[in-house]
């Protein structure tokens, strides 16, 4: 399997096979080295035009996609809702069709509505990559989390990963659960019942009510941000209370049978879901996740690039520069 094996779009991990996920992770391994060069550029996507449509705030994902695109020599344009005609009421599809009229090849979209990426993909010819849609999926985050876990543990098969915190509002949680299960990992979730989806028992995960039990069970914790901006009702009594009951502290981690690898997709609420000494501690791979994000996005862009022979040729052996 190679270029074209993912189909036209990357909308989520729920409908990818284990082989497709493995292909992305293996391809990302090959792209890591490009970011370590003095001149971080290969001609793989020269001539391609990519539009980054970010209708929700982002630091990591937006900048990481932009670096990935530029390092593959694509031409990129960034569009946000505030500076575009979306703020005048133009629809998402009209915006995308107008961009297509300017002959683009790919759209990377972040949107507050679950399903927005699929909605767009069904209506435009360009490849669509979901950079996070509402509370649904964030596939490249799930992939970079898996790459970071695989870097450390060498395999995902049989690995015990617990996703902690605000699972209810988390697209990162869904992409991780679906992706990790397909790769043979065991997945736990831990958080207050008010922050777990009602249908959590149907996801094939182990539910932990107490963070202490999750710490005893897991090899790695992926700690989620409390998404206060999506909480319309009183999901937790207070941030202080949440930290007291579910916060990941070094004192709690010290009771684990073995040191746990610590992941967080960012942005972090330090002192709420994760204490600073854990976030910055020796077992944290939070910044490795960010580094891996660029390689994963380069791999996804390459694999979706339509299988143009010149792209495959250019990617071989670093593609020259
Ligand atoms: N992890 C993540 O999606 O971060 P941003 O919201 O900053 O892109």
Distance 121 CA to ligand 1 centre (A): 22
User: What pLDDT shows up at residue 313?
Assistant: 52
CA 284 to chain centre: 17
Mean pLDDT of 134-149: 98
User: What pLDDT shows up at residue 235?
Assistant: 82
Mean pLDDT of 195-199: 96
Mean pLDDT of 120-140: 97
Task: Give the span between the Cα atoms of 128 and 11, in whole angstroms.
Answer: 7
Grouping H, G, I as helix, E, B as strand and the rest as coil, residue 34 is helix
Q: CB-based contacts of 16: which residues, under 8 Å, 6+ apart? A: 6, 139, 179, 182
User: What pLDDT shows up at residue 319?
Assistant: 40
User: What pLDDT shows up at residue 18?
Assistant: 98
Mean pLDDT of 291-305: 97
Using DSSP, how many helices (H) and how many strands (E) does the chain show? 12, 9
Distance 171 CA to ligand 1 centre (A): 11
Mean pLDDT of 149-178: 98
Mean pLDDT of 233-260: 92
Closest C-alpha to ligand 1, atom 1: 265
Provide, for the chain, the percentages of residues in helix, strand and coil under a 3-state DSSP scheme, each rounded to the nearest 5: 45, 15, 40
Q: Is the CB of residue 58 below 6 angstroms from any atom belonging to ligand 1?
A: yes
Closest C-alpha to ligand 1, atom 4: 60
DSSP at 270: B
Task: Tokens for 227, please give them.
Answer: 């998404």
Mean pLDDT of 6-17: 97
Q: Is the CB of residue 18 below 6 angstroms from any atom belonging to ligand 1?
A: no
Q: Is the CB of residue 141 below 6 angstroms from any atom belonging to ligand 1?
A: yes
Strand positions, DSSP E, the chain: 49-54, 75-80, 106-111, 127-133, 160-164, 186-190, 206-208, 220-223, 261-263
Mean pLDDT of 53-59: 95
Residue 104 has pLDDT above 70, yes or no: yes
Task: Give the span between the Cα atoms of 115 and 92, in whole angstroms.
Answer: 12
Which of ligand 1's atoms lies nearest the C-alpha of 138? Answer: 3
Mean pLDDT of 61-78: 98
Q: Is the CB of residue 229 below 6 angstroms from any atom belonging to ligand 1?
A: no
Distance 49 CA to ligand 1 centre (A): 23
Q: Is the CB of residue 112 below 6 angstroms from any atom belonging to ligand 1?
A: no
Residue 70 has pLDDT above 80, yes or no: yes
Task: Give the span between the Cα atoms of 102 and 91, in whole angstroms.
Answer: 17
DSSP at 194: G
Q: Count CA atoms closer than 13 A to 209's CA, side-chain side.
A: 1
Distance 131 CA to ligand 1 centre (A): 9
Report the percentage of the chain scoring pLDDT > 90. Answer: 88
Length of the chain (residues): 321
211-242, pLDDT tens digit by residue? 999 999 999 999 999 987 777 667 888 899 99
CB 109 within 8 A of CB 130: yes
The residue to mutate among 264, 266, 290, having the most atoms of ligand 1 within 8 angstroms of its beta carbon, is: 266
Task: Give the span between the Cα atoms of 297 and 182, in whole angstroms.
Answer: 20
Bigger pLDDT: 231 vs 148: 148
Mean pLDDT of 178-196: 97
Say how many C-beta atoms besides its own lie within 10 A of residue 94's C-beta: 12
- Phi (first) and psi of residue 256, to 5 degrees: -70, 145
Mean pLDDT of 23-27: 97
Mean pLDDT of 56-76: 97
User: What pLDDT shows up at residue 83?
Assistant: 83
How many Å is the Cα radius of gyration of the chain? 20
Mean pLDDT of 39-55: 97
- Phi (first) and psi of residue 171, to 5 degrees: -70, -30
Task: Give the span between the Cα atoms of 303 and 27, in whole angstroms.
Answer: 8
Residue 130 bridge partners (DSSP):
109
Distance 64 CA to ligand 1 centre (A): 9
Mean pLDDT of 86-110: 94
Burial state string for 11-44 with b = 16 or more CB within 10 A and e = fewer than 16: bbbeebeeebbbbbbebbebbbebeeeeeeebbb
User: What pLDDT shows up at residue 82?
Assistant: 87
Share the mean pLDDT of the chain: 93
């Amino acid at each position: 399997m190679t270029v074209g094996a993912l189909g036209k779009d990357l909308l989520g991990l729920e409908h990818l096979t284990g082989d497709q996920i493995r292909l992305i992770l293996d391809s990302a391994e090959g792209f890591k080295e490009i970011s370590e060069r003095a001149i971080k550029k290969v001609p793989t996507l020269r001539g391609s035009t990519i539009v980054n449509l970010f209708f929700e705030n982002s630091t990591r994902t937006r900048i990481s996609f932009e670096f990935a695109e530029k390092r593959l020599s694509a031409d990129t344009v960034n569009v946000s809702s505030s500076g575009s005609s979306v703020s005048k009421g133009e629809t998402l599809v009209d915006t995308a069709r107008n961009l297509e009229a300017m002959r683009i090849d790919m759209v990377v979209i972040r949107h507050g509505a679950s399903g927005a990426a699929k909605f767009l993909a069904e209506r435009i010819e360009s490849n669509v990559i979901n950079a996070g849609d509402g509370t649904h999926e964030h596939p490249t985050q799930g992939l970079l989390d898996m790459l970071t876990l695989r870097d450390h543990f060498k395999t995902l098969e049989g690995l015990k990963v617990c996703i902690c915190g605000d699972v209810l509002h988390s697209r990162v949680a869904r992409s991780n659960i679906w992706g990790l299960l397909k790769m043979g990992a065991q997945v736990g979730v831990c958080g207050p019942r008010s922050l777990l989806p009602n249908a959590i028992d149907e996801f094939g995960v182990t539910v932990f009510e107490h963070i202490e039990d999750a710490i005893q069970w897991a090899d790695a914790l992926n700690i989620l941000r409390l998404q206060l901006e999506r909480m319309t009702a009183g999901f937790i009594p207070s941030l202080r209370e949440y930290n007291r009951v579910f916060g990941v502290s070094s004192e709690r981690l010290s009771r684990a049978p073995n040191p746990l690898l610590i992941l967080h997709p960012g942005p972090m609420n330090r002192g709420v879901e994760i204490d600073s000494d854990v976030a910055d501690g020796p077992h944290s791979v939070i910044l490795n996740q960010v580094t891996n994000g660029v390689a994963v996005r380069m791999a996804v862009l390459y694999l979706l690039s339509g299988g143009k022979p010149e792209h495959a040729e250019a990617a071989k052996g670093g593609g020259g520069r």
